Structure 1
Amino acid sequence: MAPAIVHWAAAFVLSAVSLTSPSQAATCTSQTFTGNRVYTFCNDLPTLNCFLHWTYSPDQSTLSLAFVGAPATPDGWISWAINPTDTGMLGSQALVAFKDVKDRMTVKAYNISSYSAPDNSKVWFQVKESSAEFVGGVIRLFATLILPEKGITTVNHVWQVGPSVTKGVPDKHFVQPANLAAVGILDLMKGQSTGGAGAGDAKVKKRNIHGILNGVSWGIMFPIGIIIARYMRAFPSADPAWFYLHVSCQFSAYAIGVAGLATGLKLGMESKAVTYSEHRNIGIALLVFATLQMFALLLRPNKKHKYRMYWNVYHHSCGYTVLILGIINVFKGLSILQPVNVWRKAYIGVIAGIGGVALLLEVITWVVVLRRKKSKA
């Protein structure tokens, strides 16, 4: 009985708020603004409970807008952006409204060139005027923009809400499905916003595929392949099974890794405004050393050959280089993708588990080898 009363009470409060606060109404058509601001078009954006109003003059290339949204917390921020080069957040030119250090509403323009702190540099459009107000739990962002090209009829737009501001700089937003889907294509003349979740989901899906392929190949399969070669061959009964298992595991890791690199290169071509140089360069180095490892199979001399020792140095050096670079680059990729924290913890758990197994096998192998030497002596 008590939970039912709480449920109905909560519903009543929410209904009362929606009636008393026009800014939080279910549709943009019921929203009104101070200063007799009136706009030609308005749209109920498909995610994050946000609304966009605008008037566009193609001859003057002037866009007047009002963006309304509730920040993730009362001390958070809201943002609306145009992306002139892509359909996602990276490369977007954003207007962000929040409370400054003096608790006054302010609007700043940012060039979103990375997933780290926003770049407070010159943006693609000219901001003629801007202001913001906090009313009834939502922030209203007002601005008049001059687009750099006349006659533009459609733009890629992005909207977002964030939880906090630190020292006058907006902090990162959440990465829930609603946040990731907050993109679309805005037809300035027809008053329509299309794309929405589909446009964002496509790019997110590509990034996730890239991350999974590389995480599984370089980050998991390659270390397992090294463990198979290092510890199974210490047991004569495992010969030659260990060799075929080792080759199969490393070749599969290489094939999956190449597919992961291909998806990464395609993502890079589709997002020319942003480049993750360090992550890309490590990925290229990984491919080079891993390819050398594949050639090692073809160049492998007989165990008693005089060049076998040099081949071992070459093979082991390339293998351990791929191992180290692969794990490092997986963490670099996680920092870029910023998935739910459970994925980072899961990968750390997997690597810790593989490391624990390797340590245990190292001890067992040394015990076996020392006993064998003692027996022969």
Structure 2
Amino acid sequence: MATSLLASLFFTFWALLISPAISLTCSSQKFTKNQVYSNCLDLPSLASYLHFTYDPSNTTLSVAFISTPSKPGGWISWAINPNATGMAGSQALVVYKNSTTGVAVVHTFDISSYSSIVPKDLSFEVPDKTAETRSDGSLAIFATIKVPANLAAKGTINQVWQVGPGVGEGGMLEKHDFAAANLHSKGTLDLKNGQSSTNSGGDTTVKKKNIHGILNAVSWGILFPLGAMIARYIRSFESADPAWFYLHVFCQISAYAIGVAGWGTGLKLGSESSGITYSGHRYIGIALFVLATVQIFALFLRPKKDHKLRFYWDIYHHSFGYAILVLGIINVFKGFNILKPEHKWKSAYMIVIIAMGGISLLLEAITWIVVLKRKSRKSTKPYDGYNNAQSNQQPLAM
């Protein structure tokens, strides 16, 4: 019964539907200086908007980019990447408020790599650039750009946009989030037709992160705790022997196999993003892999119940098992904070964990009742009320 209930909770984790997002349209936006542009686009992520006019006669692009920083005091950015589709290598216009005056100011950044983001003049001419703070808390970038000849000949440019939480000393930009919306904030802008296209299939890095998160949530976050619950509680029922053992082994080996796959995708993601490091999440992941690998050997090193080493094996097996259980759940929540999926997914996982905890408390009570009753039936008494006086005087056998 408990196993089927846990299984149903597991499947509800995947049963949520994705709700449609609703956003404002750029056509309703007005500017304080009443600027007018030929085209406007509702960009597909980060609630951002682009207004632009392109003059092919002199290859000049006039843009107005509107977005809201991820936190008050943060920054927004719109960039052109002359040679690639991502942020690395892009030439960025960044707006944030001056910490002293509170006035929004445009700055230019050369993002040669994720680890090198420095204030610098752009590789193309920007004869005019201004910024403004809007009444709804958003910021706007206004710029006139001289499109390089090779891009003008193509008629398209690679655009990237982003929002961040704050600005440090010396104008150093604080890192933006790496949620799906942030990683999808790029596309191709068709200057002649006034259209923007993005990779509808999603960024491959985002897919890898989602796969990494799902594999690890299922393995370390659900299957390992489920296997531990089976070993602790189901085994107390005599009718469940030896089925509980095979269920326990199946859960733990499956969890280990899935966890290793998730660990491998994590290593791959780390190698592909050398400038992005999540030390705590990474070190716990390595510890989990090592502990789980050692734990798997417990299956092959398991002595018989009456063996003199069984006591020490139990200590090793149980201590490693509980360490994996605790670290696994902690790291799943760290992963949620990094990936930042829709809130419903974190809520669903919390419901599953709370439900498993509640079931564990219930089964703990039932297990103690079963064990105490079993001991009571097996206990012997020196005097049961029917022995004669002579037998009552005899000493207990040792």
Q: Same fold (TM over 0.5)?
A: yes
Which residue of structure 2 aligns with residue 181 of structure 1? 184
Alignment match of 1:78 (pick from 69, 76, 79): 76
**1: CA distance between counterparts of 2:236 and 2:89?**
53
Which residue number corresponds to residue 27 of structure 1? 39
Residues 51 and 231 (structure 1), Cα distance of their counterparts in 2 relative to 1, 3 Å cut? same
Q: Distance in 1 between matches of 2:321 and 2:197?
A: 45
1:173-322 equivalence runs, <5 A: 177=181, 179-184=182-187, 196-198=198-200, 200-322=202-324
How far residue 197 of structure 1 moved from its aligned partner, in angstroms, is 3.0
Q: Secondary structure at the match of 1:233?
A: helix
1:85 and 1:364 map into 2 onto residues whose CA distance is: 65
Q: Which residue of 2 aligns with 1:8?
A: none
Q: Distance in 1 between matches of 2:227 and 2:302?
A: 17
Deviation at 1:136, TM superposition (A): 7.9
Higher helix share: 1
In the aligned structure 1, how far is the partner of 2:199 from the partner of 2:34?
A: 26
1:104 to 2:116 alignment: no
Q: TM-score, normalised by structure 1?
A: 0.69
1:44 and 1:52 in contact (8 A); partners too: no
Bigger shift: 75-84 or 208-217? 75-84
The alpha carbon displacement at 1:68 in A equals 2.4
Q: Which residue of 2 aligns with 1:123?
A: 118
Deviations 1:204-247 (A, max 9, x none): 11111110110111001100000000011111111000000000
Q: Which residue identity lines up with residue 49 of structure 2 in the other structure? A: N
Change (3 A) 1:226 1:194: same
Alignment of 1:154-173 (within 5 A): 158-161=160-163
Unpaired runs of at least 5, structure 2: 1-24, 147-153, 380-398
CA contact (8 A) 1:67 1:80 kept: no
* Offset at residue 77 of structure 1 (A): 4.9
Contact 1:111/1:123 (<8 A) preserved: yes
Q: Give 2:140's aligned residue.
A: 139
- Name whichever of 168-177 and 252-261 sits farther off: 168-177
1:67: how far off? 5.0
- SS state of the match for residue 305, structure 2? coil
Q: Report the 3-state secondary structure (helix = DSSP H, G, I; strand = E; otherwise coil) of the residue aligned with 1:374.
A: helix
**Structure 1 position 133, deviation (Å):** 2.1
Change (3 A) 1:274 1:141: farther
Q: Which amino acid aligns with 1:160?
A: Q
Report the residue type matching 1:182 in the other structure: S
Classify 1:111/1:18 alpha carbon distance in 2 versus 1 (closer, same or farther; 3 Å): closer
The answer (yes or no) to whether the contact 1:214–1:257 under 8 Å persists in 2 is yes
Q: In structure 2, the residue corresponding to 1:70 is in which secondary structure? A: strand
* Offset at residue 184 of structure 1 (A): 3.8
- 78-87 vs 200-209, which moves further: 78-87
Q: Determine if contact 1:91/1:273 at 8 Å carries over to the other structure.
A: no
Q: Partners of 1:313 and 1:173 in 2: how far apart?
A: 42
Q: Which deviations, in whole Å up to 9, do the C-alpha atoms of 1:72-101 show, x marking residues without a partner?
A: 48x775312478999656898854313345
The residue aligned with 2:396 is none
CA positional deviation for 1:270: 1.3
Q: Distance in 1 between matches of 2:231 and 2:110?
A: 49
Question: TM-score, normalising length from structure 2?
Answer: 0.66
Q: Aligned equivalents of 1:125 and 1:340: distance in 2?
A: 36
Sort the Cα spacing of 1:354 and 1:92 in 2 relative to 1 into closer, same or farther, 3 A: farther
What does 1:18-97 correspond to in 2, within 5 Å? Answer: 23=35, 25=37, 27=39, 48-50=48-50, 67-72=63-68, 77-81=75-79, 95-97=93-95
The answer to whether the 8 A contact 1:160-1:173 is kept is no
The total of aligned residue pairs comes to 331
Letter in 2 for 1:212: I
Aligned amino acid, residue 96 of structure 1: V
Partner secondary structure for residue 80 of structure 1: strand
Deviations 1:173-218 (A, max 9, x none): 79675x5421247899x99998733585322111111101101110
Give the Cα–Cα distance (whole angstroms) in 2 for the partners of residues 273 and 171 of structure 1.
Answer: 11
Measure, in 2, the Cα distance between the counterparts of 1:171 and 1:191: 34
Instruction: Identify if the C-alpha distance between structure 1 residues 91 and 225 changes in structure 2 by more than 3 Å, giving closer, same or farther.
Output: farther
- Structure number with greater Rg is 2
1:107: Cα distance to partner? 3.0
Contact 2:75 2:167 in 1 (8 A): no
Q: Classify 1:376/1:290 alpha carbon distance in 2 versus 1 (closer, same or farther; 3 Å).
A: same
Aligned to 1:36: none
